[in-house]
Amino acid sequence: MKKVMIFTIVVSLLLSLTAIPIVMAAGPNGPAGKSNTGHLNLYEKDPATWEIVEGGANGKMTYNLSGSEFEFVFNGHGLEAEVEYRLIYYPDPWPGNGLICLGCATANGGGNVHIQNSVDTGDLPAAGDENADPSTTTYPDGIVGAKIWLVPADDVECDSSVGTKMIGWNPAQCLFEGDLISFDDTDE
Find the mean pLDDT for residues 33-43: 92
At residue 15, the pLDDT reads 41
Asked, for residue 129, whether it belongs to a domain, the answer is yes
Asked, for residue 14, whether it belongs to a domain, the answer is no
Q: Domain range for residue 132?
A: 29-185
**Three-point CA angle 147, 74, 14, nearest 5°:** 125
Q: Give the global pTM.
A: 0.82
Cβ–Cβ < 8 Å for 133, 65: no
Quick one: pLDDT band at residue 56, thresholds 50, 70, 90? very high
Find the mean pLDDT for residues 46-61: 97
Please tell me which residue, 15 or 52, carries the higher pLDDT value. 52
Asked, for residue 24, whether it belongs to a domain, the answer is no
Asked, for residue 78, whether it belongs to a domain, the answer is yes
pLDDT digits (tens, 9 = 90+) for 140-186: 999 999 999 999 999 999 987 888 999 999 999 999 999 999 999 99
At residue 160, the pLDDT reads 79
| Cross-strand partners of 62 | 39, 73
Asked, for residue 19, whether it belongs to a domain, the answer is no
Cβ–Cβ < 8 Å for 183, 65: yes
For residues 47 and 151, give the distance between their C-alpha atoms in angstroms, rounded to a whole number.
14
**Average pLDDT, rounded, for the chain:** 87
- When mean pLDDT is compared across 1-5, 127-131, 166-170, 176-180, the lowest value belongs to 1-5
Asked, for residue 112, whether it belongs to a domain, the answer is yes
**In this model, does residue 32 exceed pLDDT 80?**
no
Asked, for residue 5, whether it belongs to a domain, the answer is no
pLDDT digits (tens, 9 = 90+) for 67-96: 999 999 999 999 999 999 999 999 999 999
Domain count, the chain: 1
At residue 28, the pLDDT reads 58
At residue 50, the pLDDT reads 94
Q: Give CA separation, 85 vs 64, 101, 155, 173, in Å.
A: 22, 11, 9, 10
Phi-psi region of 108 (alpha: psi -120 to 50; beta: other; left: phi over 0): beta
Task: Output the domain CATH number for residue 158.
Answer: 2.60.40
Asked, for residue 64, whether it belongs to a domain, the answer is yes
For residues 185 and 188, give the distance between their C-alpha atoms in angstroms, rounded to a whole number.
6
